[in-house]
Amino acid sequence: MDAKLLFSALTKFLGGVVLLALLLFVPAGSICYEGAWRLMLILFVPMLVLGVILLVFAPELLRRRLSSREKRPTQSRVVKLSGLVFVASFVVAGLDYRFGWSDVGRTMEIVAMITFLIGYALYWEVMRENEWLSRTVEISEGQRVVQTGLYSIVRHPMYLATLLMFLSMPLVLDSWWAFLLMLLYLPVVVVRTIDEERLLCKELKGYEEYCQRIRWRIFPFVW
């Protein structure tokens, strides 16, 4: 087992737990924020399990997933903007809990949790199908176009998975105001997708033909 990779993965995992806790519980002014505990449970438990699986069976894929330094200017700006959207959404959710601005209702919270887990399942499946998957937009040595499974339906199933997960998060947190802020993630994904496809069509052999065959980028019959 790669000790350096283990340390990097564990550090980022624990850092994520601490950061999300601070973004939620400090604005909420209480550790009794039920929605925050729900989100942290359904987010970090599967993340830990997936991380262990990748560490043991696909360490190179895990290493690529831990890389977050974008080389393309457009992608770098998109990542920074999405980070601001997440921070703002989580802080607003905490404030919403403290001051009681909105209430999505128990039924919507359950629906949101189910949607989040469906998104996570899609995320896992994409990780299984695409061994070149990276958090950054780049072409890896020996990379080929993946055209099976979810990639035979849409060109960017990972973005579909993240949209399901991210848009359901504020509702798990019981906040309509945070949900409205998280909607800003939609144009961010659109810009990221279009810029990514420019690179892939230019540098990845067979991708342009793949785009002609698979019409939909993220949402079947929509876009």
List, for residues 150-201, the tens digit of each pLDDT value: 999 999 999 999 999 999 999 999 999 999 999 999 999 999 899 889 988 8
List Cα–Cα distances, 170 to 83, 85, 173, in angstroms. 15, 12, 5
Residues 107 and 14: their CA atoms lie apart, in Å, by 31
Contacts of 41 (CB under 8 A, 6+ apart): none
Residues 136 and 79: their CA atoms lie apart, in Å, by 9
The model's pTM: 0.89
Neighbours of 144 (CB within 10 A): 12
pLDDT value of residue 50 = 87
Predicted confidence band of residue 5 (pLDDT cuts 50, 70, 90)? confident
- Contact present, 98 and 28 (Cβ < 8 Å): yes
Architecture of domain 3-133+140-213: Up-down Bundle (1.20)
Does the pLDDT at position 122 exceed 90? Answer: yes
Q: What is the largest CA-CA distance in the chain?
A: 54
pLDDT in tens, 79-105: 889 999 999 999 999 999 999 999 999
pLDDT value of residue 147 = 86
Percentage of residues in the chain with pLDDT exceeding 90?
Answer: 61
Nearest in space to 189 (alpha carbons), one of 214, 157, 149, 144: 157
Q: What is the average pLDDT value for the chain, to the nearest integer?
A: 89
- Contact present, 116 and 168 (Cβ < 8 Å): yes
Higher local confidence (pLDDT), 136 or 197: 197
